[in-house]
C-alpha cells in the first residue's frame, strides 16, 4: 500500500495532511525518514509519524525445514501429515511453502509468510538453481546429461525445461541442478529418459543450503545472509 494511504487510513488524517507530514520528514518507514507519499510499503514495515506508531508491521518468518519422507508439502490435509505438523503452532499463522517437495522426497524446504520474497525464489522465469541428490532404479545412461542439457519436452505444459546439469555420483546416483521447479520436474525428466527416481533429496535452493546440523523434521530460522541472498 502507498505510504500516504497508510497514514490517511488512520485517525481521520486526510490524504493532503498525510502528504504534508511525509514531505516535512515527520514520517519514518522501518526507522528511516521517507519523503515519498507514493512509496509502496509492505505489511512487514513499521510506519511512524512523529514517533507514534501508525502501522506496527507484521512479524516476518523465514524457516528452513529438513523435510522427512512421508510428510505432505501442504499446510492442511485431511488424510496425511503435513510439514506444518513439524512447526510450532505459534508460527503457523500465514506460513506458506516456497517450492514444494513430493511426499516421499526429503531435504530443504523453505517456509515463509513473505510472498514477494518466496516468489523470487520459486518463479521459473527468475531461474534460481535448485540442487537435488537422486537415486534411480536403473543405471543413469551416458546420454542423460546431454538430454537434460538440451531440455526435456513437457507435453502438459507444452514447454521445454531449461537446460539442467547432472553430476554423476555413482551408477544410479547423481546430483541434478534445475532452474525451475515445475510439478514433479526431476521425476518427469528421468522418466523422459527411461529411468525412475527412487529417492530424491533437495540440498540447495539458490545460495541457501540445507544445514548439516539439522536432523530430519528439525527446522531453524534463515540467517540474514540467507534471506538477503534472494533479494
Ligand atoms: N522434482 C520432483 O520430481 N520431486 C520433488 O519433490 C522436487 C522436484
Structural domain boundaries in the chain = 3-55, 62-230
| CB burial of residue 186 (10 Å; 0-12, 13-18, 19+) | buried
- What's the CA gap between 172 and 137, in Å, rounded? 7
Nearest CA to ligand 1 atom 5: 101
As for ligand 1, residues whose beta carbon falls within 6 Å of it are 101-102, 105, 184-187, 200
**Among 3.10.290.10, 3.40.640.10, 3.60.110.10, 3.30.2350.10, what is the CATH number of 62-230?**
3.30.2350.10
- Mean pLDDT on 24-33: 94
How much distance in Å is there from the Cα of 134 to the middle of ligand 1? 10
- Mean pLDDT on 180-195: 96
- Mean pLDDT on 102-117: 96
Nine-digit cell at 158? 507444452
**What architecture is domain 3-55?**
Roll (3.10)
Catalytic annotation, pick one of 42, 58, 102, 211: 102
Q: Is the pLDDT of residue 11 over 70?
A: no
How much distance in Å is there from the Cα of 1 to the middle of ligand 1? 36
Q: 220: closest CA among 101, 65, 87? A: 65
Ligand 1 atom closest to Cα of 197? 3
Q: Is the pLDDT of residue 129 over 80?
A: yes
Give the predicted TM-score (pTM) of the model.
0.86
Nearest CA to ligand 1 atom 4: 184
Q: 217: closest CA among 27, 88, 33, 117? A: 88
Confidence of residue 91 (pLDDT cuts 50, 70, 90): confident
Amino acid at each position: 500500500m502507498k505510504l500516504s494511504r497508510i497514514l490517511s487510513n488512520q485517525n481521520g488524517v486526510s490524504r493532503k495532511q498525510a502528504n504534508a507530514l511525509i514531505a516535512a520528514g515527520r514520517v519514518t518507514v522501518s526507522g528511516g525518514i521517507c519523503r515519498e507519499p507514493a512509496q509502496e510499503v509492505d505489511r512487514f514495515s513499521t510506519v511512524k509519524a512523529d514517533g507514534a506508531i501508525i502501522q506496527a508491521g507484521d512479524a516476518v518468518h523465514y524457516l528452513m525445514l529438513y523435510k522427512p519422507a512421508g510428510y505432505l508439502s501442504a499446510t492442511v490435509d485431511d488424510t496425511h501429515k503435513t510439514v506444518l505438523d513439524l512447526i510450532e503452532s505459534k508460527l503457523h499463522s500465514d506460513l506458506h511453502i516456497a517450492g514444494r517437495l513430493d511426499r516421499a522426497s526429503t531435504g530443504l524446504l523453505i517456509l515463509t509468510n513473505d510472498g514477494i520474497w518466496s516468489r523470487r525464489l520459486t518463479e521459473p522465469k527468475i531461474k534460481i538453481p535448485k540442487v537435488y541428490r537422486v537415486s534411480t532404479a536403473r543405471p543413469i545412461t551416458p546420454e542423460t546429461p546431454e538430454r537434460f542439457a538440451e531440455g526435456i519436452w513437457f507435453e502438459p505444459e507444452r514447454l521445454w525445461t531449461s537446460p539442467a546439469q547432472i553430476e554423476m555420483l555413482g551408477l544410479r546416483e547423481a546430483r541434478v541442478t534445475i532452474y525451475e521447479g515445475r510439478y514433479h520436474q526431476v521425476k518427469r525428466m528421468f522418466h523422459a529418459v527411461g529411468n525412475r527416481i527412487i529417492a530424491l533429496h533437495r540440498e540447495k535452493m539458490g545460495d541457501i543450503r540445507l544445514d548439516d546440523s539439522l536432523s530430519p523434521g528439525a527446522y531453524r530460522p534463515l540467517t540474514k545472509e540467507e534471506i538477503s541472498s534472494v533479494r
